[in-house]
Structure 1
């Protein structure tokens, strides 16, 4: 899946090739988990952002397969 993050300062970031995200303390972390759709001990962290800086997280679909959501 692909997610678009909008930050409080107006910038945007695309995170592709991940299955899910969750808050880990002060961070919002995106995980690749082989399509399981949830984070577990076998998941790989792909990207983390400070939660206080994130205004919005929007799922776009899977850009790798041409699905824009």
Structure 2
């Protein structure tokens, strides 16, 4: 799955991200906590992407996926 271009990987992450947000919206009680975590996750992914582009990391590390029942 990660052998394609970074663009492909990005698109796949976006789809995954949307699913996670939809699942989060269903449980409004955890919304605030969730958004904070989502934001942190996004920052991690962006930082990772930048490091890869600079070539500091040869191996693409996949961020830990949060399992959610959809």
TM-score over 0.5 for the pair:
no
**Structure number with bigger Rg:** 2
TM-score normalised by length of structure 1 = 0.28
TM-score normalised by length of structure 2 = 0.28
Higher strand share: 1
